[in-house]
Amino acid sequence: MSITENNTNSYAGIIEYSWTGDTTDDLDVSIEAIGAHLQVVQISFNLVGTGTETMTATINHADGGDSDALDTEYFAQDMTGQTEVLQRWANDAGIYIPKGSATDFAWTNTEELAWGLSVLVRNE
């Protein structure tokens, strides 16, 4: 996949990760919790046009193997007829990503739309 932008901005203890894709790119990106636990506090996904398919966010647990048995989908949004989605978790109610694991974001671009994803995380 060709990602046209990958920015990291940090402010007030929150780190923002953002990506954009063009009309030929599916969304398939990850944020790894390498040195510490992470807490996902916001997901914003935007399309240039109305979409189809479901955008998902999954905890990809570091279980020592290739098994997906411990992976957990924590957010899913059907993008049919949608141009944007904003999911915010208040205060400490964010989604915890254990150290050594990752959070994966996926969406199949069947409508061939440009898209943007922004994820706000806090290091724990």
Please check the confidence at residue 2 and state whether its pLDDT lies above 60: no
| For residues 104-108, average pLDDT | 96
Please check the confidence at residue 1 and state whether its pLDDT lies above 70: no
Write the pLDDT tens digit of every residue in 28-46: 999 999 888 999 999 999 9
Q: Amino acid letter at 107?
A: W
Where in the chain are the domains? Answer: 1-43+64-108
Residue 90 or 8, more confident? 90
pLDDT band at 63 (very low <50, low <70, confident <90, very high): low
Given this model, what pLDDT does residue 5 score? 54
Given this model, what pLDDT does residue 68 score? 72
Query: CB atoms < 10 A from the CB of 22, how many?
Result: 15
As a whole number, the mean pLDDT across the chain is: 87
* Phi/psi of residue 3, nearest 5 degrees: -100, 125
